Amino acid sequence: MRGSLCAGTKRPVNVQSPSSHPRILVCDDLSEVGLDVLRQEGFEVLRRAGLSADELLALVPEVDALLVRSRTRVTDELLAASSRLRLVGRAGYTLDTIDIEAATRSGVVVMHSSLGNEISAAEFAIGLLFSLARRIPQADASMRAGRWDKRRHRGVELTGKTLGVIGMGAVGRNVVQRALALQMHVVVHDPGVPASDVAALGARSVTWDEVLRTSDFISLHVSASERTRGLIGDAAFEQMKDRVRIVNCSRGSVIDEGALVRAIRSGKVAGAALDIWDEEPPVGNPLISMAEVVATPHLVAATFEAQINVAVTLAEQVRDFFLHGSCEGVVNPEVLDAAAEPGAPASALVAAEAGNG
């Protein structure tokens, strides 16, 4: 089911395009399947991949919306350069490259694809679980180096092991379902999800202490925030089972990477599979050279299907925002609240407050 529309009276969002059709700047690689959704409604779509910061700064005052992936950084300076810009859309879920506070100050709505890559992300997390359990990448590298090290790469089974899933949003939910199909015992820690919802999947909702203490494998699926920065650090590792294995497909900042190095060197952590890093690319990061670590370059949503899905989802959200006042995927509802107040800035033109999408 799609998320809620903006409450109250919904109306199209005013634009300043000479043709009265919204002008959309796409400056990263988005699927044409998604962009066709906008073209079919008469939107003017400008594809300008590979713009320099200065080129983007010069072009953004001429558009009503900016659609990006992770390559383009949407800064305070960029947002302040346009009184016309109504919306910044991120094809994907994470928003690390967008200054949301600056967008809110400028009255610019920020939205991301609410759906589209959860299957790819969950499948990748399960793939990393197998890689950790059976040391597949290490065995492959050993063979390519001319060695035949069967004993060195002996692994463990997933069946019957306990998987702790920290964070049960769309991706976490799909990981739970797939792990249960592998006959793993699954425990979930997510204070925002009712225990009954977890139980309905066949898993068990547990406390923070219990998910750390009982899990043989831990898979992280939480968003980046000041509250979650360093969530998995020295104190958390101390509570975990000896020889625990950890998968991170969420945000790099969630793990204290220095603490993880120490936990691996001490033998507390038997292995870690990391797809997302605190700094990307992770130049000089000691984790990459550790034999116990499976390291990948942010591939969690890198499938053909996910790229189409997130582009289509975002395009539908952008279309509905401009044509119907929908706020699906909006992450700064303050802008929508302000639009309903007397004296609201001209750039906040959705006359409604945000729902709970």
Instruction: Give catalytic residue positions.
Output: 251, 280, 298
Give me the helices (H) in the chain, please.
Answer: 32-39, 53-59, 76-80, 100-105, 118-134, 136-144, 170-181, 195-201, 208-214, 234-239, 257-266, 304-324, 333-339
CA 86/CA 63 separation, integer angstroms: 9
Q: Residue 22: is the preceding peptide bond cis (ω within 30°)?
A: no
State the number of CA atoms in the 13 A half-sphere of 143 facing the CB. Answer: 8
Of residues 336, 279, 303, the one with CA closest to residue 111: 336
SS3 content of the chain, % helix, strand, coil (to 5): 35, 15, 50
CA 171/CA 76 separation, integer angstroms: 30
CA 286/CA 246 separation, integer angstroms: 17
Residues 349 and 321: beta-carbon distance below 8 Å = no
Angle at 213 between CA 221 and CA 135, to 5 degrees: 65
